[in-house]
Amino acid sequence: MTEHHIESEQFNQETGKLGMWIFLLTELFLFGGLFLVYAVFRAQHSQEFHSAALELNSFIGTLNTVFLLTSSMTVAMSLTAIQKNRPGLALFLVFTTLLFAALFMMNKYFEWTHKFEYHIFPGSPVLKNLPRGELLFFGLYYMMTGLHALHVLVGMVLLSVTFVKIKKGIVHQGHYLLLENSALYWHLVDLIWIFLFPLLYLIT
Partner 1 sequence: MINMDKPGNTPYVSYLKHEGKYKGLLGWLLTTDHKRIGLLYLYAIIVFFFVGAILGLLMRIELIAPGQTIMGPQTYNGLFTIHGIIMIFVIVIPALPAVFGNFFLPILIGARDVAFPRLNLFSFYLYILGAILGVLSQFAGSGPPDTGWTFYVPYSAQSSTNVIYALVAAFILGFSSILTGINFIVTIHRLRAPGMSWFRMPLFPWAIYATAWIQVLATPIVGITLLMVIAERVLHIGFFDPALGGDPVLFQHLFWIYSHPAVYIMILPAMGIVTEIFPTFSQKPVFGYGAIAMSSLAIAFVGYFVWGHHMFTSGTSYASRWVFSFLTFIVAVPSAIKVFNWISTMYGGSIDLKPPLLYAISFIFLFMIGGFTGLTLGSLATNIQVHATSFVVAHFHYIIFGGMGFATFAGIHYWFPKMFGRMYNNKVANIAWGINFVGFNLLYFPQFIIGIQGMPRRYFDYLPQFQPAQVISTIGGFILFSGLVLMLVNLMKAARKGEPAPANPWKGVTLEWQIPSPPPHENFEEIPEIKTKPYLFGTGNNE
Partner 2 sequence: MTGHKPHISSFSSLATVLVILLLLTTLSVAVTSYHLGAFAVAIALIIASIKVATVITQFMHMKFESLFLKLMISGVFVIFALVIVITFIDYYFR
**Residues binding partner 2 (CB under 8 A):** 3-4, 6, 8, 10-11, 18, 21-22, 25, 28-29, 32, 35-36, 39-40, 42-44, 58, 62, 65-66, 69-70, 72-73, 76-77, 79-80, 83-84, 184, 187, 190-191, 194-195, 197-199, 202-204
**Least distance in Å: CB of 50 to partner 2?**
9
Q: Which does 157 bind (CB under 5 to 8 A by kind): partner 1, partner 2, none?
A: none
- Where does this chain bind partner 1 (CB under 8 A)? 1-2, 4-5, 11, 14-16, 18-19, 22-23, 25-34, 36-37, 40-41, 45, 122-123, 128, 132-133, 135-136, 139-140, 142-143, 147
**Shortest distance in whole angstroms from residue 151 CB to partner 1:** 13
Torsion of CA 154, 158, 160, 166, to 10 degrees: -170
Alpha helices in 119-176 (DSSP H): 125-128, 132-167
Contacts of 104 (CB under 8 A, 6+ apart): 64, 67, 68, 71, 152
* Shortest separation between residue 45's beta carbon and partner 1, angstroms: 7
H helix intervals, the chain: 9-44, 46-53, 58-83, 87-117, 125-128, 132-167, 177-201
CA distance 49 to 203: 8
Which amino acid makes up residue 150?
L
Q: Which does 191 bind (CB under 5 to 8 A by kind): partner 2, partner 1, none?
A: partner 2
Q: Which is nearer to partner 1, 67 or 185 (CB)?
A: 185
- Identity of the residue, 76 or 127, whose beta carbon is nearer to partner 2 in the bound complex: 76
Which of the listed partners (partner 2, partner 1, none) does 2 bind, with a CB threshold of 5 to 8 Å by partner kind? partner 1
Residues near 65 by beta carbon (within 8 Å), at least 6 away in sequence:
193, 194, 197
- Residue 169 φ/ψ, nearest 5 degrees: 80, 10
